[in-house]
Amino acid sequence: MELTSKQRAQLRSLANSLDTIVQVGKDGLTDNLIKQTGEALEARELIKCRVLDNNLELDARSAADALALATRSEVVQVIGTRFVLYRETHSKPKDKRIQLVKPAKPAKQKTV
């Protein structure tokens, strides 16, 4: 699912108040870290992550892309050493999930 710019803006504003719950350390992206990130996404839908300074291999963008690919989530934002991931959960009722703004319908082209 590709996020629109309005949906990204909505998720960025929701992520402002979040605490960092996933930290990529010197070991990088381990199987355990990917599993924990997947579980956190299923429970919360929107999580904030951080690449620690002792990780010399990954920057925040590459860590976010790799973690998003491994957890089937979307990268919402990358700033400095922090990044935000989103994945819709299926364990919560629909009314308890984050309600994204609906994408605009493409304008109809008039034929002359």
pTM of the model: 0.86
Per-residue pLDDT of the chain (112 residues; tens, 9 = 90+): 688 899 999 999 999 999 999 999 988 899 999 999 999 999 999 999 999 999 888 899 999 999 999 999 999 999 999 999 999 988 888 888 888 888 777 666 666 6
> Which phi and psi angles does 109 have, rounded to 5°?
-90, 135
In a domain, 53, yes or no: yes
State the CB neighbour count (10 A cutoff) for residue 37: 23
In a domain, 100, yes or no: no
In a domain, 36, yes or no: yes
DSSP tag of 107: P
**Total domains present in the chain:** 1
- Looking only at Cα atoms, what is the longest distance across the chain? 63
Model pLDDT, residue 107? 63
Model pLDDT, residue 56? 83
Model pLDDT, residue 112? 62
In a domain, 110, yes or no: no
Model pLDDT, residue 55? 86
State which residues form the domain around 10: 5-88
Say which CATH number the domain at 57 has.
Answer: 3.30.110.60
